[in-house]
């Protein structure tokens, strides 16, 4: 092996490398003649064109066969996620701290709510219909305009004291803040099995300790006529129903852990791996 | 280091010697002086070569080419982990896991390799002789038995037949002493030892007996002149330990391969670093990408695959009695292009055997096979009756008792080598010797001595006496007046003498030792019992010549076939021996090292009747070079000779010269295997790319120096080794190609993740599962693939050209098959995403929002809203889908990797059962990972649906689609003439 292991100096190595890149005697560029390189490049070009073509064809046929109204599977969407407004994140999860005497600390939160509720003004909802029945709004046909399905109206005034109409500060300065709970939409999800699901807020870990809460609409329910959701294409104007919660007796200057669960058949809130499934937890601290 | 031994004690007169060692040649040393010298010189034993400490051996297992690559990768991972941790990046624990996995792989395979070597070292160690040797020493005039390791310089020792010489000894007096120097010089004939200095060279002179050689017969008294490591044997042994170990060819190949990988990794990493910077990632983030890409290029599973493949072959070899000390040596034999073989004990049986007989003016061939399976000669002549009787009676050797059930060839005999040969020959051809001897009781005898050069004995035969005599043919003939031909006693005439001379020269020219036999009937009472043996030669005149018997140390039966196989496999077999050129040449011709019809320059000169100098070396295929010629050669001449003559025999070579020969072959670019058994072979064994020692006959020094040991001493096992070595090289190529392929589909998800910002399609843990779990079995099972063609008819690979991994193989694996797998994986990925609601176009650029832990209502293409955790499980589903598609492609891949030259149908789809089992196993593990409860949160595998995959990889043998490769090599090993292709159909 002696011949193979000769110690080469750096300059010899460089020289060898230069010779490899372009060998003037044999006219080899990187070990091949130029025409060879052309052929190889052409081969690879053709190869990749064919491969990309096949790939494009696969994606094209996928999009042609995919159902535009509802997904084939909803493996990860067994139970809806729940979100909170205003949503301010701290180190670990939602964390809403403010000082009643410092306007700046809560104005931001109020603005979040106001911005959020702009989607629920009567003007924003004018394409949706008024629904009155307390049953699932099942539509097997496309009755809406442009071959769509109808969606029920949800306007912010249904949130009464927390609508921001009577009290644009949502009770923040008084230390009785409003929070809005929203349930994620899932296509053809029937929550509650006939009974309207409702929001229930408690202290975390200490459920017996009373937490005085006002729920809007009454009882904190999501009316059944907002369900099921038929998807973006069928219900382009659909808006999620909301529940507002107003905390009435928040102890000042203490960090409180509060969880709002949605109670209803088909909605689970005990998935240890997903803290936002069927419930929303947040920390609240009001200083003055 | 390569200078010859400088000992001059053999030239000194005894008084000088006494003075030099301040001892007495009659009384020996004084006990106190001896004790003092023992303290000064140390015990008289060979210091075992400084064994490598176990921790260094283990460390070596962790420091190979691939291992270094993985250490570097692990370090990079840890750095990347540190950087990400510093940035407070979530999910950065992946890099930590990766680093741990990389280190674990190196350590576990290191332990495995270490264990393998440890086991074979134990096998070898079990062969060592641990019985302490005794020596008879005279101190202060008293004869003592002491352990041989207590001997000191100046001690007076006695040796007798059957003893091992306890140190280097200057002979002071001897009676018929003969030693076997074969382990030192390779001479198979017993050497006479006597007090006279007969040669300038200490190795040639008769008055020195060497440490650890065997005293066969007679007795001798001598003065210890060297002990322990200062003995000739000790110096040779230390010569071996001074020779450095070369890197094995496979280690060189793996380094070359690591170079390719590292080059590609850095190229890719740098490219995407630039891309990431251009896209607008922050520098640190781009740096992490760079590191991740470099690490992704490391084939984690390869190290395990290579180690397991090599140890599988090592096991297979061990079953065929080849024990490999170093795993990498398994392949070396396959790359071997030259075998330098010792003669005695390796090619030959290392026992004198009757090969030819000459009687009735005819040469008869005796059976020299080890198991007496050969043809016998015509035994009907009456001359044979006489000859056989002489052979039986004129012989002092006898079988040790209690061996009636042992085959004759294997029985132990008391007596010298030629007498033993004759005894066994007689026992086999005539029948029980002891019975014949009983019928003809011995009356008187004269043992062999170097002055008479014959041995005679007189036996009672009924009412007559029979005088039998054997000895050097010319001395025997002097005492004959008649000759027996076909039972007729005829007077000697000139014509017959000519025939005799011819036969004698013929047999001598075959390298055989020739003895003449004659007899005479005497009247009863001619010789009385107890007659002075010195008076016997007077009676022994006018004898009747019976015949000649020629003996040789015959080749092992399996050797000629093995040599032929080596030749057809393109391997050059060179004989390197310490024995005489004539014997060496004869054996070389016998085993085919010098093929039939090949001539040496001397033969050509004799044929053309021209002086040797005028012979064109090109006319002579073969050449015999002696050590003396070698010593006078200019540097470089030897290479010229090796190049000019394909068939070489080196005779009378010293251990140093063996080393020089091996080095010359290596300078010519050959990968050299050396086989040998003697101490004199050990330096060459060590220097060789692979040293092969004999397990039974081999000396400890040889076994220590060797890389491989043939437990059955069978040269033919080397052929098995070559075959297995070549097969493993071929199969390793397949395994590596298979293992490399999936590197690309593991890397592209990350590249696309960086550049197109899609949710990550394939996770780090999933990659580790592919590399270290599911794909290990198929890649190892490729080691069980049978040879595609008769690999023993191909030339050995050219170490410069036929690399284990060459650029075409890497390009084919990476840029063709790997690309196909990537496309397949991405198709599946997009399908899996679309089926759950994430259409391909939405995926592009989705990454920042997808990975936002605060985003709990990300909308998919259908308007559904997803929490972060729901998206995470969807990402795991993608991992699993990508995993499954790589696995499916890899199943197709393992099938196309089965063959490199043949069609898959020729090779047989299911003939490799292990591979079928491996695929089943791979699928089962895949299913287990996907469907075992709890997997999503442990290893990020999600249960996925049994749906016909939209991508069906089809194995198509498409000759038409093969790449237009202008570099199709003549050597089919690297050719891709029938490269199979995998097509992706939708």
pLDDT in tens, B677-704: 877 788 888 889 999 988 877 777 788 7
A89 in contact with chain B, both atoms CB, cutoff 8 A: yes
Higher pLDDT, B404 or B374: B404
Q: How far is CA B182 from CA B345, B415, B628, B698, B850, in A?
A: 9, 17, 19, 11, 80
Cβ neighbours for B532, distance < 8 A, ≥ 6 positions apart: none
Q: How far is CA B849 from CA A109, B757, B845, B977, in A?
A: 22, 10, 9, 49
Residue whose pair of structure tokens reads 């002579």 in the numeric block: B620
Q: Looking at the partner chain, which of A4, A39, A83 has a beta carbon nearest the beta carbon of B966?
A: A39
Residue whose pair of structure tokens reads 């050969």 in the numeric block: B374
* Residue B731 scores a pLDDT above 50: yes
Query: How is chain B split among helix, strand and coil, in percent rounded to 5?
Result: 50, 15, 35
Residue B666, min C-alpha distance to chain A (Å):
6
Distance CA A224, CA A134 (A): 6
Higher pLDDT, B416 or B502: B502
B-chain residues near A1 (CB < 8 A): 246-247, 249, 252, 666, 671, 689, 799
Tallying the residues shown for chain A, one arrives at 288
* Residue B371 scores a pLDDT above 80: no
A-chain residues near B862 (CB < 8 A): 69-71, 187, 231-233
A90 in contact with chain B, both atoms CB, cutoff 8 A: no
CA angle at A251 for the pair A245 and A254, rounded to the nearest 5°: 110
Average pLDDT, chain A: 88
Site from A40, A53, A62, A181 to mutate, B interface, most B CB atoms within 10 angstroms: A62
In this structure, of A93-107, A162-176, B139-153, the range with the lowest mean pLDDT score is B139-153
pLDDT digits (tens, 9 = 90+) for B837-857: 999 999 999 999 998 888 999
Asked if A59 and B866 come within 8 Å (Cβ–Cβ), the reply is no
Asked if B866 and A81 come within 8 Å (Cβ–Cβ), the reply is yes
A-chain residues near B949 (CB < 8 A): none
Q: Looking at the partner chain, which of B834, B866, B984 has a beta carbon nearest the beta carbon of A66?
A: B834
Of B725, B720, B737, nearest to B782 by C-alpha is B737
Cβ atoms of B875 and B760 closer than 8 Å? yes
B-chain residues near A81 (CB < 8 A): 856-857, 865-867, 870
Asked if A274 and B827 come within 8 Å (Cβ–Cβ), the reply is no
**DSSP string covering B811-858, please?**
HIIIIIIHHHHHHHHHHHHHHHHHHHT--HHHHTT-HHHHT-TT---E
Asked if B831 and A61 come within 8 Å (Cβ–Cβ), the reply is no
Residue B232: band (very low, low, confident or very high) from pLDDT cuts 50, 70, 90: confident
Average pLDDT, chain B: 83
Higher pLDDT, B615 or B930: B930
B-chain residues near A277 (CB < 8 A): 867, 869-870
The whole-number pLDDT of residue B242 equals: 67
* Residue A227 scores a pLDDT above 60: yes
Q: Which of B342, B360, B700, B860 is catalytic?
A: B342
Q: Long-range contacts for B403-411 (Cβ within 8 Å, ≥24 apart)?
A: B407/B371, B407/B372, B408/B372, B409/B370, B409/B371, B409/B372
A5 in contact with chain B, both atoms CB, cutoff 8 A: yes
Of B367, B343, B348, B349, nearest to B357 by C-alpha is B367
Residue B246, min C-alpha distance to chain A (Å):
7
pTM of the model: 0.80
A237 in contact with chain B, both atoms CB, cutoff 8 A: no
B-chain residues near A47 (CB < 8 A): 816, 819
Residue A201's Cβ-count burial label (10 Å; 0-12, 13-18, 19+) is buried
Asked if A51 and B819 come within 8 Å (Cβ–Cβ), the reply is yes
Q: Report residue B427: phi and psi, to 5°.
A: -60, -40
B-chain residues near A69 (CB < 8 A): 862
What percent of chain B has a predicted confidence (pLDDT) above 70? 91
pLDDT digits (tens, 9 = 90+) for A234-265: 999 999 999 999 999 888 999 999 999 999 99
Kindly state the tokens that stand for A241: 């129903």
Residue B955: band (very low, low, confident or very high) from pLDDT cuts 50, 70, 90: very low
Kindly state the tokens that stand for B839: 């259409």
The whole-number pLDDT of residue B49 equals: 64
Cβ neighbours for B699, distance < 8 A, ≥ 6 positions apart: B183, B212, B677, B678, B679, B682
* Residue A205 scores a pLDDT above 90: no
A72 in contact with chain B, both atoms CB, cutoff 8 A: yes
Of B76, B92, B87, B89, nearest to B296 by C-alpha is B76
The whole-number pLDDT of residue B188 equals: 65
Q: Report residue B369: phi and psi, to 5°.
A: -70, 155
* Residue B649 scores a pLDDT above 90: yes
The whole-number pLDDT of residue B311 equals: 86
* Residue B741 scores a pLDDT above 60: yes
pLDDT digits (tens, 9 = 90+) for B176-215: 788 877 767 766 677 888 888 888 877 778 888 888 787 8
The whole-number pLDDT of residue B970 equals: 29
Asked if B865 and A69 come within 8 Å (Cβ–Cβ), the reply is no
The whole-number pLDDT of residue B18 equals: 84
- β-strands B672-676, B690-694 pairing: parallel
The whole-number pLDDT of residue B6 equals: 66
Residue A207, min C-alpha distance to chain B (Å):
25
Q: Chain A: residue nearest B249 by CA?
A: A1
A268 in contact with chain B, both atoms CB, cutoff 8 A: no
Distance CA B900, CA B736 (A): 13
* Residue B13 scores a pLDDT above 90: no
Residue B35: band (very low, low, confident or very high) from pLDDT cuts 50, 70, 90: confident
A-chain residues near B827 (CB < 8 A): 55, 58-59, 62
* Residue A7 scores a pLDDT above 70: no
Site from B260, B819, B862 to mutate, A interface, most A CB atoms within 10 angstroms: B862
Residue B346: band (very low, low, confident or very high) from pLDDT cuts 50, 70, 90: confident
* Residue B738 scores a pLDDT above 80: yes
Site from B635, B671, B837 to mutate, A interface, most A CB atoms within 10 angstroms: B837
What mean pLDDT comes out for the span B868-886?
93
Q: How far is CA B55 from CA B100, B114, B140, in A?
A: 22, 10, 48
Asked if B863 and A184 come within 8 Å (Cβ–Cβ), the reply is no
Higher pLDDT, B971 or A135: A135
Distance CA B939, CA B932 (A): 11
Tallying the residues shown for chain B, one arrives at 986
Site from A36, A71, A148 to mutate, B interface, most B CB atoms within 10 angstroms: A71
CA angle at A177 for the pair A213 and A183, rounded to the nearest 5°: 70
Most confident among A8-22, B89-103, B541-555 (mean pLDDT): B541-555
* Residue B969 scores a pLDDT above 60: no
Cβ neighbours for B368, distance < 8 A, ≥ 6 positions apart: B353, B354, B355, B374, B552, B554, B555
User: Helix, strand or coil for residue B743?
Assistant: helix
Asked if B247 and A81 come within 8 Å (Cβ–Cβ), the reply is no
Q: Looking at the partner chain, which of A39, A54, A274 has a beta carbon nearest the beta carbon of B823?
A: A54
Residue A272, min C-alpha distance to chain B (Å):
11
B-chain residues near A53 (CB < 8 A): none
* Residue A56 scores a pLDDT above 90: yes
A6 in contact with chain B, both atoms CB, cutoff 8 A: no
A-chain residues near B874 (CB < 8 A): 75-76
Most confident among B263-272, B419-428, B568-577, B619-628 (mean pLDDT): B568-577
Cβ neighbours for B963, distance < 8 A, ≥ 6 positions apart: A40, A43, B812, B816, B976, B979
Cβ atoms of A86 and A117 closer than 8 Å? no
In this structure, of A268-277, B233-242, B777-786, B850-859, the range with the lowest mean pLDDT score is B233-242
pLDDT digits (tens, 9 = 90+) for B535-549: 788 888 888 998 999
Asked if A4 and B800 come within 8 Å (Cβ–Cβ), the reply is yes
Q: Is B360 a catalytic residue?
A: no
Q: How far is CA B814 from CA A125, B76, B745, B819, in A?
A: 56, 23, 9, 7
Q: Looking at the partner chain, which of A77, A274, A275 has a beta carbon nearest the beta carbon of B864?
A: A77
The whole-number pLDDT of residue A32 equals: 79
pLDDT digits (tens, 9 = 90+) for B934-945: 888 888 899 888
The whole-number pLDDT of residue B5 equals: 56
Residue B929: band (very low, low, confident or very high) from pLDDT cuts 50, 70, 90: very high
* Residue A199 scores a pLDDT above 80: yes
Asked if A80 and B865 come within 8 Å (Cβ–Cβ), the reply is yes
Distance CA B596, CA B551 (A): 22
Q: Looking at the partner chain, which of B799, B869, B964 has a beta carbon nearest the beta carbon of A39?
A: B964
User: Helix, strand or coil for residue B412?
Assistant: coil
Asked if A31 and B807 come within 8 Å (Cβ–Cβ), the reply is yes
The whole-number pLDDT of residue A146 equals: 86
Asked if A276 and B869 come within 8 Å (Cβ–Cβ), the reply is yes
A126 in contact with chain B, both atoms CB, cutoff 8 A: no
Asked if B869 and A275 come within 8 Å (Cβ–Cβ), the reply is yes
Total CB pairs under 8 A between chain A and B: 159
Residue B961: band (very low, low, confident or very high) from pLDDT cuts 50, 70, 90: very low
The whole-number pLDDT of residue A117 equals: 93
HEC-encoded secondary structure of chain A: CCCCCCCCCHHHHHHHHHHHHEECCCCEECCECHHHHHHHHHHHHHHHHHHHHHHHHHHHHHHHHCCCCCCCCCCCCCCCEEEEECCCECCCCEEEEEECCCHHHHHHHHHHHHHHHHHHCCCCCCCCECCCCCCCCCCCCCCCCCCCCCCECCCHHHHHHHCCCCCCCCCCCCCCCEEEEEECCCECCCHHHHCCCEEEEEECCCCCCCCCEEEECHHHECCHHHCCECCCCCCCCCCCCEEEEEECCCCECCCEEEEEEEECCCCCCCCCCCCCECEEEEEEEEEC
Of B771, B758, B757, B735, nearest to B296 by C-alpha is B771
What mean pLDDT comes out for the span B361-381?
77
A-chain residues near B247 (CB < 8 A): 1, 5
Asked if B827 and A81 come within 8 Å (Cβ–Cβ), the reply is no
Query: How many Å separate Cα A204 from the centre of its chain?
Result: 24
Find the Cα–Cα–Cα–Cα dihedral B780, B786, B787, B789, rounded to 10°: -140
Residue B127: band (very low, low, confident or very high) from pLDDT cuts 50, 70, 90: low
B-chain residues near A184 (CB < 8 A): 856-857, 864-867
Reported ipTM = 0.93
């Amino acid at each position: 092996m002696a011949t193979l292991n000769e110690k080469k100096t750096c300059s010899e190595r460089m020289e060898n490398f230069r010779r490899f890149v372009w060998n003037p005697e044999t006219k080899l560029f990187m070990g091949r003649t130029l025409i060879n390189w052309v052929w190889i490049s052409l081969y690879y070009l053709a190869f990749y064109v064919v491969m990309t073509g096949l790939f494009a064809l696969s994606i094209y046929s996928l999009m042609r066969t995919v159902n535009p109204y509802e997904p084939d599977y909803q493996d990860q969407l067994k139970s809806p996620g729940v979100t909170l407004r205003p949503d301010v994140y701290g180190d670990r999860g939602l964390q809403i701290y403010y000082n009643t005497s410092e306007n700046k600390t809560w104005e931001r939160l109020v603005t979040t709510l106001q911005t959020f509720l702009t989607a629920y003004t009567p003007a924003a909802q004018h394409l949706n219909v008024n629904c009155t029945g307390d049953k699932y709004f099942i539509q097997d046909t496309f009755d809406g305009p442009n071959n769509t399905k109808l969606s029920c109206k949800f306007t912010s005034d249904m949130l009464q004291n927390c609508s921001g109409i009577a009290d644009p500060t949502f009770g923040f300065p008084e230390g009785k803040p409003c929070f809005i709970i929203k349930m994620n939409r899932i296509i053809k999800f029937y929550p509650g099995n006939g009974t309207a699901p409702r929001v229930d807020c408690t202290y975390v870990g200490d459920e017996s300790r009373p937490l005085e809460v006002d729920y809007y609409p009454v009882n904190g329910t999501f009316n059944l006529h907002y369900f099921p959701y038929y998807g973006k294409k069928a219900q382009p104007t659909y808006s999620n129903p909301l529940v507002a919660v107003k905390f009435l007796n928040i102890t000042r200057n203490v960090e409180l852990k509060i969880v709002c669960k949605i109670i209803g058949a088909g909605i689970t809130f005990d998935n240890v791996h997903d803290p936002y499934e069927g419930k929303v937890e947040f920390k609240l601290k009001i200083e003055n | 280091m390569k200078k010859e031994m400088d000992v001059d004690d053999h030239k000194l007169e005894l008084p000088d010697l006494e003075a030099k060692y301040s001892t007495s040649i009659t009384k020996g040393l004084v006990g106190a002086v001896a004790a003092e010298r023992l303290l000064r010189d140390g015990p008289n034993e060979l210091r075992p070569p400084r064994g490598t400490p176990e921790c260094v051996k283990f460390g070596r297992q962790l420091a190979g080419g691939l291992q270094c690559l993985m250490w570097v990768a692990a370090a990079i991972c840890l750095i990347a982990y540190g950087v990400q941790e510093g940035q407070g990046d979530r999910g950065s624990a992946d890099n930590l896991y990766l680093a741990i996995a990389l280190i674990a792989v190196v350590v576990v395979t290191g332990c495995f390799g270490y264990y393998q070597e440890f086991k074979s070292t134990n096998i070898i160690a079990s062969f060592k002789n641990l019985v302490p040797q005794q020596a008879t020493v005279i101190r202060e005039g008293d004869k003592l038995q002491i352990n041989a390791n207590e001997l000191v310089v100046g001690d007076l020792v006695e040796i007798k037949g059957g003893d091992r010489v306890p140190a280097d000894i200057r002979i002071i007096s001897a009676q018929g002493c003969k030693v076997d120097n074969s382990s030192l010089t390779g001479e198979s004939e017993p050497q006479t030892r006597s007090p006279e200095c007969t040669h300038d060279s200490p190795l040639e002179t008769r008055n020195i007996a060497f440490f650890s050689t065997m005293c066969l017969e007679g007795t001798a008294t001598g003065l210890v002149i060297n002990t322990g490591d200062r003995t000739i044997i000790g110096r040779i042994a230390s010569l071996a330990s001074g020779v450095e170990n070369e890197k094995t060819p496979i280690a060189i190949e793996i380094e070359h391969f690591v170079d390719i990988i590292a080059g590609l990794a850095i190229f890719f990493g740098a490219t995407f670093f630039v891309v990431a910077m251009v896209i607008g990632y922050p520098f640190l983030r781009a740096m992490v990408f760079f590191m991740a890409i470099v690490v992704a290029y490391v084939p984690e599973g390869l190290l395990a695959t290579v180690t397991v493949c090599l140890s599988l072959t090592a096991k297979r070899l061990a079953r065929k009695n080849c024990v490999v000390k170093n795993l990498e040596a398994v392949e070396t034999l396959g790359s071997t292009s030259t075998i330098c073989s010792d003669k005695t004990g390796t090619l030959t049986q290392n026992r004198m055997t009757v090969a030819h007989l000459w009687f009735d003016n005819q040469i008869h061939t005796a059976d020299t096979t080890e198991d007496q399976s050969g043809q016998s000669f015509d035994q009907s002549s009456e001359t044979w009756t006489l000859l056989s009787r002489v052979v039986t009676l004129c012989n002092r050797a006898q079988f040790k008792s209690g061996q009636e059930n042992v085959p004759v060839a294997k029985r132990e005999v008391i007596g010298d080598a030629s007498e033993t040969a004759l005894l066994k020959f007689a026992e086999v051809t005539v029948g029980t010797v002891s019975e014949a001897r009983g019928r003809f009781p011995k009356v008187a005898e004269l043992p062999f001595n170097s002055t008479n050069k014959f041995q005679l004995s007189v036996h009672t035969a009924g009412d007559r006496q029979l005088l039998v005599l054997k000895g050097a043919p010319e001395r025997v003939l002097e005492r004959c007046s008649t000759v027996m031909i076909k039972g007729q006693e005829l007077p000697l005439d000139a014509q017959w003498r000519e025939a005799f001379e011819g036969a004698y020269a013929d047999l001598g020219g075959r390298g055989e030792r020739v003895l003449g036999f004659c007899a005479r009937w005497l009247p009863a009472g001619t010789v009385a019992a107890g007659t002075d043996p010195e008076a016997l030669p007077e009676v022994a005149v006018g004898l009747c010549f019976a015949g000649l018997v020629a003996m040789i140390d015959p080749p092992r039966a399996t050797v000629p076939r093995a040599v032929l196989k080596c030749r057809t496999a393109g391997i050059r077999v060179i004989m390197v021996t310490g024995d005489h050129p004539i014997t060496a040449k004869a054996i070389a011709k016998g085993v085919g090292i010098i093929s039939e019809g090949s001539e040496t320059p001397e033969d050509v000169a004799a044929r053309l009747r021209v002086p040797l100098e005028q012979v064109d070396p090109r006319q002579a295929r073969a050449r015999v070079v002696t050590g003396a010629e070698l010593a006078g050669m200019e540097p470089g001449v030897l290479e010229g000779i090796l190049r000019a003559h394909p068939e070489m025999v080196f005779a009378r070579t010293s251990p140093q010269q063996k080393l020089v020969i091996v080095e010359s072959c290596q300078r010519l670019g050959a990968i050299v295997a050396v086989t040998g058994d003697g101490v004199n072979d050990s330096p060459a064994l060590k220097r060789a790319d692979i040293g092969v020692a004999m397990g039974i006959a081999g000396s400890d020094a040889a076994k220590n120096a060797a890389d491989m040991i043939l437990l059955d001493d069978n040269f033919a096992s080397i052929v098995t080794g070559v075959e297995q070595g070549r097969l493993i090289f071929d199969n390793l190529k397949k395994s590596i190609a298979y293992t490399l392929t999936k590197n690309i589909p593991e890397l592209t998800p990350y590249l696309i993740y960086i550049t197109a910002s899609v949710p990550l399609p394939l996770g780090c843990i999933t990659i580790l599962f592919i590399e270290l779990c599911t794909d290990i079995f198929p890649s190892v099972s490729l080691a069980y693939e049978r040879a595609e063609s008769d690999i023993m008819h191909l030339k050995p690979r050219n170490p410069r050209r036929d690399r284990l991994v060459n650029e075409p193989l890497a390009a084919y694996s990476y840029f063709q098959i790997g690309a196909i797998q990537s496309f397949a994986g991405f198709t599946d990925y997009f399908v899996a995403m679309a089926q759950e609601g994430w259409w391909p176009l939405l995926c592009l650029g989705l990454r920042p929002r997808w990975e936002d832990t605060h985003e709990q209502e990300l909308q998919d293409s259908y308007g559904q809203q997803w929490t972060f955790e729901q998206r995470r499980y969807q990402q795991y589903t993608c991992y699993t889908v990508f995993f499954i598609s790589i696995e499916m492609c890899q199943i197709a891949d393992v099938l196309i990797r089965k063959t490199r030259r043949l069609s898959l149908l020729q090779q047989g789809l299911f003939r490799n059962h292990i591979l079928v089992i491996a695929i089943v196993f791979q699928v089962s593990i895949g299913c287990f990972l996907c469907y075992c409860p709890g997997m999503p949160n442990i290893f990020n595998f999600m249960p996925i649906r049994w749906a016909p995959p939209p991508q069906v990889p089809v194995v198509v043998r498409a000759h038409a689609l093969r790449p237009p490769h202008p570099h199709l090599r003549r050597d089919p090993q690297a050719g891709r003439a029938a490269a199979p292709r995998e097509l992706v159909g939708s």
